[in-house]
Structure 1
Amino acid sequence: MEERFTGKVFRFTTAFLLFSTAALLAGEKTKPWQIYQQAANLFQQSGSPEKILDLCKEAADDAENPILQARALFLAAQVQIAEKNTGKAHDILEDIYKNETRFPVNIANEARLRDAELYNTAGDSSNALRLFTVVCDSAANLFLLQEARLGLASVLAETNRWQESDSVLNLVVGESPNYKADERVRALSARQALSLQNSQKAIELLQGNQSKTSLKLLARAYEQAGKSIMAVGVYKKLRDLYPRTQAAEDALFRAGEVFLRAEDWLAAKNEFEKLVELYPESERSALVKYRLGWIYLHLNRLVEALKAFDYISPQPDHAAYFAYMRAECLYRIGKGIPEKLQEAILAFNSLSALYSQSTIAPLAKLRAALIRFEKGDKQDAIISLRQYLSLYSKDALAPTTVFMLAVHGDAATSAHYHRQLIEKYPNSYLYGAALTALQEMDYAEGKYQEIINRQAHLGQKATSGTKTYWQRAQHLLHAEASYFLKHYSQARADYRDAASETDDFLTQNARLGEAWCLLQQGAVDSARTIFTQMRDVVTGADVAKAEYGIATCDFRAQKYEEALHAYPTDIAAEGNRELQAIIAKSHYLGGECFFRLEYYGQAIESWLKLVELFPDDPLASRAQYRAADTYFRANHFAEADSAYQIVLNRYAKSPYAAESMLQVAQCKYNAAQFEDAVAQFKRFIESYPEHAKTRDALEGIQ
């Protein structure tokens, strides 16, 4: 336990009162006096407490002099304090200062000082403050008054009433300037400096002092100043000067903490192992064992860590933390030994069952589920997550668990859990991620109005000038939905809200989106400017997006040759669906550019290249039909026939199938294959009896 500052005051007072008695009572050689002397000598020699107390009682009962009576009682109180019977010590001292008719005022005030110190040491600042104040208000003796003021300043400092503490210290020094050099005054001033983060001033005040209190404060000052090595040096000095004391144990622990914070694992290990060796019965045993286990983990000494965490703490919450770390050790060992992973899962689940009220029980249950995911037992992991939610739905990690269930579920399950997170945990940091995920799902399915409706009801508003990543992502999706619904002005506003000063993924896509809005609104040059700027700053697939945008601007401006050079047709999609769509569109529109430039062969090549590369693309059936139609217009009926047949065979459900069937008949007719032409016209009429061109087919038969 940390020594309080008033301690030195009363060690000095005790010495003064016990060993100056001969001077005060020089003329008294009575039997009570001799009994008292015998008790005092035994106390100095660490004699039997019972014997000393008996002698003190005898001396106090027999003495007629109140001063001798008080001395005997003070000595009895000191024995009770040494024996940790503080209640009895309080009773003895209180009996003195509540009998002022029996004892002189100075004696009563001295008893109050001693009692106040006892309360202060125990952390009872209220009673300590009361008694120190009484002495300050009533003491005529300057020594007692100054000692009481120092005690009062100490209590005020302990309760962080620094301004009042400073005022009391100024009274002490003002009345007795020699106190300015007193170590207690300097220690209190240093304490105040530390509270103000002025570590350098504290260091200057404490230099040269050798008391336990001053050395502890000096070490703390060095820690606060970031001078870890100096702090450790002071802690070593404390151990050397006061071996086998509580202060020495505290210093050893604090030195280990310094090394631990600095992640100097070996040095921290040495300090804590030394503490275990020197103080096996320490009250800190649990703390030290836990820290040693943590250190062994960082040193990858897993077996030693497991042994350290095998400590059984009598406190249930501490025991739960040790159990958690034992399970963590088993998990780390299990990375090389699969059977241990199952042991870890069982250990985490056992912890959550045995210590269900512990703050760490929910985390243990969740950890078991995560390890199951790691093992590949997805279904068991999902069951564990659901069990967690049924047990700990109000736990801080519940939103995270719901989000994990959403991430690992199919589309319907994912949507269910994202909605659950939004409804049950609106203040969760994952709210924005869940809402964005739902919006993305609807975007993938083309549910643009649903996106706009949900954003209106559930969208998060920025509480400050800066939007979160998820708020910006929601603006981007809202902008995309507005764009596809042809609400271009609204889309542009949302794209601007999605952008930020940081040139990240969202900003780049927002800028590209704004350019597409400008293009749709007829501002071709403005759109081209943004696309060109973005091409120079984006990377990966976004480069193709920018190049496609530039080509589209050229196409709209009927600059077909420039568009042909800009379309990104010579890049690899590498499984990127978005990039595949851009390349497919580029091939298709490239074909349109060739066609309008009357380079029909190249147009056909471009369209058929699209079909070859991306046969399942939405534009593939149209590209195949355009190639067939261009063959037909060029009177290459055999090639047109074959191309139309591909539309019929591969894209029978496309809008171009009926027209292709009719065109096949026309190809047969133009090639003078009249029987085949008639058969094909009949097939068309049977397949599409209500088609607008059925009459044309009938005329073809005739």
Structure 2
Amino acid sequence: MKLVDYNRVSALQAACALPVLFGMCVLLSACQPALQPRGESQTIGSMLERNGQSAERLFMSKVSAKKIDDAEVESLRVEAAALNHYQKILNLASASGVRAEALRRSADLRIEGAERDGNINMREVAAATELYQRLIAEFPDYPNKDHVIYQLARAYELSGRSELAIDTLRDLAHEYPASQRANDALFRAAEMLYLRKRYQEAAAEYGRLIKQDPTMPYWQMAQYKYAWSQYQLSNPELAVSSFTAILSQLKIRSEVMTMEQLLAFVPSASAELLRDTVRGLSLALAAKPKGHNINAYFAGLPSNHFYPLVYSSLGELLMNKKRYTDAASVYEAFVGAYPRHDLAMRHSENAIAAYQRGGFTGLKISAQEVYIERYATAILASAVEGEADAALTKLSKLLRDYTMEVLAFRHAEAQRAEDSDADILQQRFAAVAERYRMALAMFPLDANFATTSMRYGDALFDSGEHKAAAEQYLAVAYDLASYNKPADAALAAVKSYRAWLNDALDAERDEAQQAVIDASIQMAAAFPQHPERSRVLLASAEDLYGMQRYQEALAIAEPLLENAQWVDLSLQIKALSITADAYYAQNRFDKAEIYYDRLLPMVVAEPVLQNLARERLAISVYRRAEGLRSSGENALAANTFLRAAELSPSTVLRANASFDAAGQFYVVNNWKKAADVLQGFRSNFPNHRMAIEADKLLAETYQKSAQPALAAAVYGHLALVNSEPLATRRQASLMAAKLYDQAGLREQARRAIEKHIAQFPAPLLDAQQFRLRLAAMAPANSELHQRWLKEIVTADKRAAEPNEASQLIAADASLQLAMIDVRRAKSAKLQLPIAKSLALRQRAMQAAIDSLAQASAYGFSDITTKADYELGNLYRDFAKALMESEKPRELRGDVLQEYVLLLEEQAYPFEEKAISAFEVNVARVRDGVWTAGMRQSLLALIELAPAKYGKQPQLEDSYDSLY
């Protein structure tokens, strides 16, 4: 439906009036002053009335119809002629009334012609717009101005100026509330706002319309769109009340349960709107906040005959939206408010279906329980009274299905319960058992009656009613021929009686014991091929064993064990178990070992029995290994201990046997086997009391087998065991570091050394040697290299007692650090601007001088003389750097020569300092010292002062021999 459908003006009718109108315009223009009364505006309509004509009819006599061959072409021709005539009128100095009418009709024709063949002629629209605007401007009191404003809004819309169209329509409605077009304009403005999703504004305009008389043509549609606007604005309360107002206007005299019943109260043209109203009401109700009460909503309505339809529609909507619990709550609310309604049972079923589709099993079961409680009696009573039509049969089946689902769920729920209180668990199963009893009474002819009876027995058993459960099982096994597993029921009866025996009071024990025996005999006789028959017969032997009457138990079990007629292995297993256990209990381990050996391969599928048999066999084997060790058969003892460990599921025995096996392998120098067993021991028993001893033994084993890396890893682990003495941990850490280094694993060695230093900073010498090793492992002159050298120096300074060996290491580290400063100073080039680079070089030199002084201060001749040599060399290099420094480019000739002489003067003192440092170093020969640093100093002096030192070949030869 087109939202803006303006009233059309017939172009052909207007054109037919042109000849008379045009003649009258000319006449009126000539005599205008005489025709216009003073103070009264003249209109074409008033003039026509004075000529005996009405505004709707221009000819006095009837004009015969003219046959038109092509109506469309003729219409276009007439329309063009009309526009042409109106334009001529506008070009003349016509009377104001004539001009105004010409403006309006010309604009109307143009706006009509602008919309043709589905296309819009924007030029015509623009022309019409301009004409309407001129008309309003020139004739503000035009009698038909509401029409002009209406048409102008239409022109604005056609030209795409929607905002102007909306404002114009709203202005029309506000300025001309009595106009026939006011409501139309207001509605169309609201529609345009709604289309543009300006719901707040649209709602305001719709709201003005719905405040009027409901019989007003636009009222129902405005009410409908107002409701949707409020829904879009997320105002569900207002939307609900607005949709409800539409339904309340209907003359509904009886309850409406279907849409077809509702549509019967309205014309077919309103059917779609009414369908959408119900849908909107449902959406609005669904959008209301959680916890709202739909029953309260309907209770507040004075006339709510449509409530069944809305409940159903809302529930269906929520189902489609997959809001299953909300849908179920709507259906349940209906049932709660109208329990006797014809739809109550169906909505109860709908609620159950909603929970089913949503996967809310617990809620579904609860709803089914309510359904059973509410309707079971009536459904079953109707069936008994012979009213078993198709619908009732379906209901009975549904009731039965619900009942079985509830039973299965509640039974499984009780089985899954993890309540530690046995009494509470039994109460749960007792409740389930009562449900089974009621179900059996309700459906005695059910095809699954026997299966339900069996489950009834299960529930009784779990509830602690073992005697009653056994009686129920016996009835299923021997009285209900329809049950397909009677032997299982018979076995369940035996187990139930045995459970009763276990819990029986002293006064009941004899009766319970006889009941177990009778049930066992009855089962063995009735079901000779039952796979559990042998176990039932051997149960008495187990009872005797439990009473420590071992010889009597053996008297029953051993004959069964030797009976070759029994092909069922379970019988042999049971007999073997009882026999082996009876011998073991009497400490007859030789016989027990024989039977356990036979038993083990047959009980793979029975872990508990297998573990017990293996453990007892392992104990026997372990005791034999102890004897071999005592007799000096170490290799055989090691393997026997291993077998005991492999057999035993006991952690304690397995750990002891493994450790003992490793010790025996170590004794016989089987390093690989000893290491393998010890590794397994460490992995499997890290918290064993012998774990530390195993680590020590494993480390020694790796060392003896020339595997330093593996030994280092174990020693590293031992170093972290706080329970060990400090000396032991320190020695382990030391060994780990040395062995990693020995193995060539630099990274592991580095980490191990760092850990050792951090954990055991004393004794100092060990730590210093390790720091020196870390410095050697680092890249030369790197930050890491310097860090460890500095730590050596720092550690020596902090030492409480001097240590000459540590001081020597520290002196060497200090000299290495100084040499880094020396190289840094020498690398500082003297370049322009000389003042800046000279300052940098001087700071670097001072740092190097200080570092060399620190190294020299330790007093070790090799270090001191090397430091002094490097000091002199530092001065000499600086003097040389001064002479070779970059010269200012602007110096030429004598000025340059003078600058060079100045540099020589600056360099000379540093050469003198160098010579002095070398001389001090060489002078130490008088103290009987001759080192590489002193020899290097002498060679430097020969080069710097050849006149003084270059003629001493004998002295140099002597020095060389000393060196």
TM range (shorter): 0.3 to 0.5
Determine which structure has greater relative contact order: mean sequence separation of CA pairs < 8 Å that are 6+ residues apart, divided by chain length. Answer: 1
TM-score relative to the length of structure 1: 0.40
If you compute each CA radius of gyration, which structure gives the higher value, 1 or 2? 2
